[in-house]
């Protein structure tokens, strides 16, 4: 459809692909082509497409009850919250429909904690360059990226950005009005940039010393993506508050804000709310996602497959040093930094019927469903290798010319 007749906001530069259905890690277009999906709905389709357990859970719930509102008790919420608490640092959970809303809840929870702790003056949050926290007015201010802030009026007050990874800069940015520190353990949209475990430990110590809330944005890294239930386990550092979304719903719009009981103590009746968040459909799917991800051995398998994938990419880098500059990431959140524009790399892959997602810092992200098999990783490697060979031939032609 041409831009002119398209009734949609022009906010997305969409690829010319019309997907009709999905099966596991495969997407089938309206014209019958099959694509290997290593975009995974941007880290959302944690169990792939049309996973039978998710389809059954959603269908069964759809026939029974869709929505009642948070004026009433919702057993599925209590069950999912209890399971998230059991699997994490948290004691309390608030459900949302998206990542940005989970972040909004996290920011409000941190501010409110300071307010009820006798520090109403503490509302500022330290954030990091290259961060992405969503597209609401507060989360674009938290992310601090000019391209997302421009033209939308005054930036929401209360976010102080520093370079990613330097504890002295964080220390200098903390003042009497600081309520907390917000960080992605691995920046996803920013280009799969991992925070050093030591840096996260230093942030934890600084928060403890100054009475600040440590907030992790695990919207992209959480729920198995890095081979652990949450990425903070890799560093052994627990936050006070955590935002989750994307993979937790496996494709159903679902997010959650997790907190310790202490951190959540200001979030009393009437302070926050949502119409759709935590509705029975979302809870049925979220519980079904956890049935699979928390099953014995599942995350071991993810780590195993991820290692195979990463080792294969490392050997590809050795064979195509002219095309692959770097491979980085954790688990099945992997970034390949090409020496050609990332958009060109993604398009070349697409011609080989494989899908990947661009990210900042000229990175190509691979975010396959967590159920991807070793054979499917090998198939992906064939296609990535073919793309590299094509790009390499192209670049030697252009340098010969
Ligand atoms: C995607 C993402 C968000 C925003 O989530 P939405 O569901 O798009 O609102 C926030 N933080 C991180 C780290 C993300 O990857």
**HEC states along 326-385?**
EEEEECCEEEEEECCCHHHHHHHHHHCCEECEEECCCEEEECCCCCCCHHHHHHHHHHHH
CB 28 within 8 A of CB 21: yes
Decide if pLDDT at 365 tops 80: yes
CATH number at residue 238: 3.40.640.10
pLDDT value for 400: 53
**Two tokens, residue 223:** 């729920």
pTM comes to 0.97
The percentage of the chain sitting over the pLDDT mark of 90, rounded to a whole number, equals 96
Q: For residue 86, report the distance from its CA to the centre of ligand 1, in Å.
A: 24
**Mean of the pLDDT values across residues 294-322?**
98
> How many alpha carbons fall within 13 Å on the CB side of residue 107?
27
Q: Tell me the CA–centroid distance for residue 47 and ligand 1, in Å.
A: 18
CB of 364 closer than 8 Å to CB of 345: yes
Q: First CA to last CA across the chain, in angstroms?
A: 37
Q: Is residue 18 part of a domain?
A: no
Is the minimum distance from the CB of 132 to ligand 1 under 6 angstroms?
yes
Residues 181, 148: contact at Cβ < 8 Å?
no
The rounded Å distance from CA 184 to ligand 1 centre is 10
Buried b (16+ CB within 10 A) or exposed e, 66-102: eeeebeeebebbeebbebbbebbbbebbbbbbbbbbb
Q: Which of 125, 130, 132, 247 to mutate to test the pocket of ligand 1 (most atoms within 8 A of CB)?
A: 132
From the CB of 192, is ligand 1 less than 6 Å away? no
- Does the beta carbon of 342 sit less than 6 angstroms from any atom of ligand 1? no
Q: Which atom belonging to ligand 1 lies closest to the Cα atom of 217? A: 13
**Ligand 1 near 93 CB (within 6 A):** no
Of 99, 130, 242, best ligand 1 pocket probe by most atoms within 8 Å of the beta carbon = 99
Does residue 246 contact residue 224 with C-beta atoms inside 8 Å?
no
**For residue 4, what pLDDT band results from cuts at 50, 70 and 90?**
confident
Query: What is the predicted pLDDT for the residue at 1?
Result: 63
> Using one digit for the tens of pLDDT, what is the confidence trace for 209-249?
999 999 999 999 999 999 999 999 999 999 999 999 999 99
288 in Cβ contact with 294 (< 8 Å): no
Ligand 1 closest atom vs CA 139: 10
The answer to whether the CB of 229 falls within 8 A of the CB of 262 is no
CA of residue 341 to ligand 1 center, whole Å: 24
Locate the ligand 1 atom nearest the alpha carbon of residue 98 and give its number.
Answer: 7
Give the residue-averaged pLDDT of 161-165.
Answer: 97
Q: Which residues are annotated binding-site positions for N(2)-acetyl-L-ornithine?
A: 135, 274
Q: Which of the four pLDDT bands, split at 50, 70 and 90, describes residue 18?
A: very high
Cα 87 to its chain centre, rounded Å, is 18
Between the CA of 93 and the centroid of ligand 1 the distance, in Å, is 18
Quick check: is 191 in a domain? yes
Span 36-89, pLDDT tens digits: 999 999 999 999 999 999 999 999 999 999 999 999 999 999 999 999 999 999
Confidence of residue 2 (pLDDT cuts 50, 70, 90): low
Number of domains into which the chain is organized: 1
| CA-nearest residue, atom 6 of ligand 1 | 99
Domain presence at residue 239? yes
- Asked if residue 128 belongs to a domain, the reply is yes
Tell whether 41 is covered by a domain.
no
Quick one: pLDDT at residue 41? 97
Tell me if 191 CB under 6 Å of ligand 1: no
Pocket test for ligand 1, best of 12, 131, 134 (most atoms within 8 A of CB): 134
Percentage, residues of the chain above pLDDT 70: 98
Does residue 369 lie within any of the structural domains? Answer: no
- In this predicted structure, the answer to whether residue 393 has a pLDDT above a threshold of 50 is yes
Within a domain: 255: yes
Q: Which of 21, 234, 241, 282 is nearest to 112 (CA)?
A: 241
Residue 151 covered by a domain: yes
Per-residue pLDDT at 82 = 98
Residue nearest to atom 11 of ligand 1 (CA): 133
Q: How many CB atoms lie within 10 A of CB 371?
A: 19
- CB 245 near ligand 1, within 6 Å: yes
| Residue numbers of the domain that contains 124 | 85-275
Q: What is the largest CA-CA distance in the chain?
A: 70
Which ligand 1 atom is the nearest neighbour of the CA of 131?
13
């Amino acid at each position: 459809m041409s831009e002119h007749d398209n009734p949609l906001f022009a906010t997305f530069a969409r690829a010319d692909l019309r997907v009709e259905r999905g099966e596991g890690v495969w997407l089938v277009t309206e014209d019958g082509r099959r694509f290997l999906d290593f975009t995974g709905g941007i880290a959302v389709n944690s169990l792939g497409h049309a996973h039978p357990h998710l389809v059954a859970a959603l269908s069964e719930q759809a026939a029974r009850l869709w929505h009642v509102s948070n004026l009433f008790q919702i057993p599925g919420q209590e069950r999912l919250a209890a399971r998230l608490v059991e699997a994490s640092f948290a004691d309390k959970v608030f459900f949302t429909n998206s990542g940005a809303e989970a972040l909004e809840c996290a920011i409000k929870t941190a501010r409110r904690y300071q307010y009820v702790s006798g520090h109403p003056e503490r509302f500022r949050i330290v954030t990091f360059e290259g961060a992405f926290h969503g597209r609401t007015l507060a989360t674009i201010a938290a992310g601090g990226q000019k391209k997302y802030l421009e033209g939308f009026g005054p930036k929401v007050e209360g976010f102080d950005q520093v370079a990613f990874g330097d504890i002295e800069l964080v220390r200098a940015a903390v003042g009497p009005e600081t309520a907390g520190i917000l960080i992605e353990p691995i920046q996803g949209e920013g280009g799969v940039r991992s925070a050093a475990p030591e840096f996260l430990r230093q942030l934890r110590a600084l928060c403890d010393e100054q009475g600040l809330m440590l907030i992790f944005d695990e919207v992209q890294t959480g729920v198995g993506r890095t081979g652990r239930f949450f990425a903070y386990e890799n560093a052994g550092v627990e936050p006070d508050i955590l935002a989750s979304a994307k993979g937790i719903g496996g494709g159903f719009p679902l997010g959650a804000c997790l907190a310790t009981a202490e951190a959540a103590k200001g979030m009393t009746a009437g302070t926050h709310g949502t119409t759709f968040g935590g509705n029975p459909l979302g809870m049925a799917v979220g519980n079904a996602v956890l049935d699979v991800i928390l099953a014995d051995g599942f995350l071991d398998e993810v780590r195993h497959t991820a290692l195979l994938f990463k080792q294969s990419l490392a050997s590809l880098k050795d064979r195509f040093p002219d095309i692959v500059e770097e491979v980085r990431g954790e688990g099945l959140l992997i970034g390949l930094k090409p020496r050609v524009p990332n958009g060109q790399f993604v398009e070349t892959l697409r011609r080989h019927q494989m899908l990947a997602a661009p990210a900042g810092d000229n990175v190509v992200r691979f975010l396959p469903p967590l159920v991807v098999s070793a054979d499917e990783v090998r198939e992906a490697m064939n296609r990535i290798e073919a793309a590299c060979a094509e790009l390499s031939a192209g670049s030697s032609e252009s340098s010969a010319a």
